[in-house]
Amino acid sequence: PEFISVSNLADVIGVRPANFVSRMEDMGFEDVHYDHVLDAETAGLVAAEFNYEAIFDDGTADLTAAPPPEDASDLPTRPPVVTIMGHVDHGKTTILDWLRKSSVAAGEHGGITQHIGAFSVPMPSGKMITFLDTPGHSAFLEMRRRGADVTDIVVLVVAADDSVKPQTIEAIKHATQANVPVIVAMSKIDKEGCNPDKVKQDLSVHGVHVEDYGGDVQAIGVSGKTGAGMIELEEAIGALSEMLDHRADTECNAEGWVLEASTKSYGRVASALIRRGTLRPGDIIVAGTTWARVRTLRNEAGVAISEATPGMPVEIDGWRDQPAAGTEILQAPTEQRAKEAVDYRLERSETVKMGEDMAAINEARLEKR
């Protein structure tokens, strides 16, 4: 902005407005009021009095996402992203294993999911669906904190012999805040002592109203052991995603999110979910304060692929530094632009930090008077 009010500038610098005004009057400004608007030059002058150097930021150094399309109806469809959530040990990975006909759960260290697992599977209709398996919810909450609502559907897994537990409630909160439709999978229905009716009752206490309990959320009893209910669950997910009809531009600059980052024998990699555009080897991308010239793209099976399109989980290498989970990925036209954006972001975070330190010092100085 080219103008700033006295009170906003005081805010930015971190000084109480009353102290700020009297300091301005000491500088020779007359009849200063909180609402007075200062032009950039004057604001810079006043800021200098507080040992701040004003940088005139026209916002062009950073990379930003393109605005969402006004009308998406002509764009190609993309796979929906389904996130499996629920309390620890309630059978999330087992359900996913069944859906992709593999057995990750058995091989997991101590049976606990360690990373966000992401993969796409074709539904009986032939349509692809992308599934995310979350370890607890911390990585996911971090993503939401950064404004990334990556999921289109939540499958809430509740063990029928254990019912609603703290992480179940957290998952419900997450789905509600993100305004995402929920399908309930009541797992372990093969077990003795399981009580699906109690699950339904407990869920309604927490605002999830299933069919027969005053709502329209589907609740399906499943067993990873016998396979009972699994086809029904698969159909429910398929039908809901068919109805939601998600579409995304595949021709614009690539955008996405880092799901998690790690180091493998062939270097630093990040698993990512593409949101818009098409990512190809050789493309240049920025994520937070690091960037990459994509060397290889791999699918979840580790097979090199020539492009990644919206809704597709993909592993990206070629990173200068390890990107952070939950950061947004944006394509840059050139390496030069990528470096510029990273420099800008580093400087900005430095300035914010310095600003906080300076504000504390100034405050202390003003208090002393």
Give me the residues that bind Mg ion (CB under 5 A), please. 92-93, 113
231 makes contact with ligand GTP (CB under 6 A): no
Query: What residue 130 binds from ligand GTP, Mg ion, none (CB within 5 to 8 A, per partner kind)?
Result: none
**Which is nearer to Mg ion, 93 or 163 (by Cβ)?**
93
Count interface residues toward ligand GTP (CB under 6 A): 18
**One symbol per residue from 113 to 132: x for binding ligand GTP (CB under 6 A), - otherwise; what is it?**
x-------------------
Out of 130, 163, 187, 362, the residue judged to bind ligand GTP by CB under 6 A: 187
89 makes contact with ligand GTP (CB under 6 A): yes
End-to-end CA distance of the chain: 33
**Which is nearer to ligand GTP, 93 or 362 (by Cβ)?**
93
**190 to 219, contacts with ligand GTP by CB under 6 A?**
190-191
**Which is nearer to Mg ion, 23 or 92 (by Cβ)?**
92
CA torsion, ordered 289, 293, 299, 301, to nearest 10 deg = -90
138 makes contact with ligand GTP (CB under 6 A): no
Query: What residue 191 binds from Mg ion, ligand GTP, none (CB within 5 to 8 A, per partner kind)?
Result: ligand GTP
**299 to 328, contacts with ligand GTP by CB under 6 A?**
none
Rounded to a whole number of angstroms, the minimum distance from the CB of residue 102 to ligand GTP is 12
Rounded to a whole number of angstroms, the minimum distance from the CB of residue 110 to ligand GTP is 8
**Which is nearer to Mg ion, 113 or 218 (by Cβ)?**
113
Query: What residue 134 binds from Mg ion, ligand GTP, none (CB within 5 to 8 A, per partner kind)?
Result: none
Q: Which residues make up the interface to ligand GTP (CB under 6 A)?
A: 88-94, 105, 111-113, 187-188, 190-191, 223-225
